[in-house]
Amino acid sequence: MPATIDSPILTPGNAAAGGKTVQVTERALARIRAAMVKENVSPEQGGLRLGVSGGGCSGLSYQIRFDSKPRERDRVYEFDGVRVFVDPKSFIYLAGMVLDWEDSLIKQGFNFINPNSSKSCGCGSSFSA
């Protein structure tokens, strides 16, 4: 059953028309902004790093953290003043993904809605492609 998103999806201003990109909902963006203020991350220099690494219940794990600046080969997306960094290797698995925020009785946290995922674990933090 596909995940539902009831928060508008923001597409970065520099995304190629029709090309696969990483997207963020307004609800997730509000949480990222609040966390950046709390963690003292400058929106002008730093941003949110999304990545994938080996491991987890299903073979690959999502990584999310703040970074002080993008790396040389990163794809840098800007969503209404918030930058998101994705390294080239992770982009292979994250292209077309939507980052959402879920706040329910069962779960509170970021939700990765990833069309490249063929199966994921119950906690939603790992997947296989």
Domain boundaries, the chain: 20-128
The CATH homologous superfamily of the domain defined by 20-128: HesB-like domain (2.60.300.12)
pLDDT band for 10, please (50, 70, 90 cuts). Answer: low
Amino acid in the structure at residue 103: D
Number of neighbouring beta carbons within 10 Å of residue 4: 7
pLDDT in tens, 29-80: 999 999 999 999 998 889 999 999 887 666 788 899 999 999 999 999 999 9
At residue 94, what are phi and psi to the nearest 5 degrees?
A: -105, -5
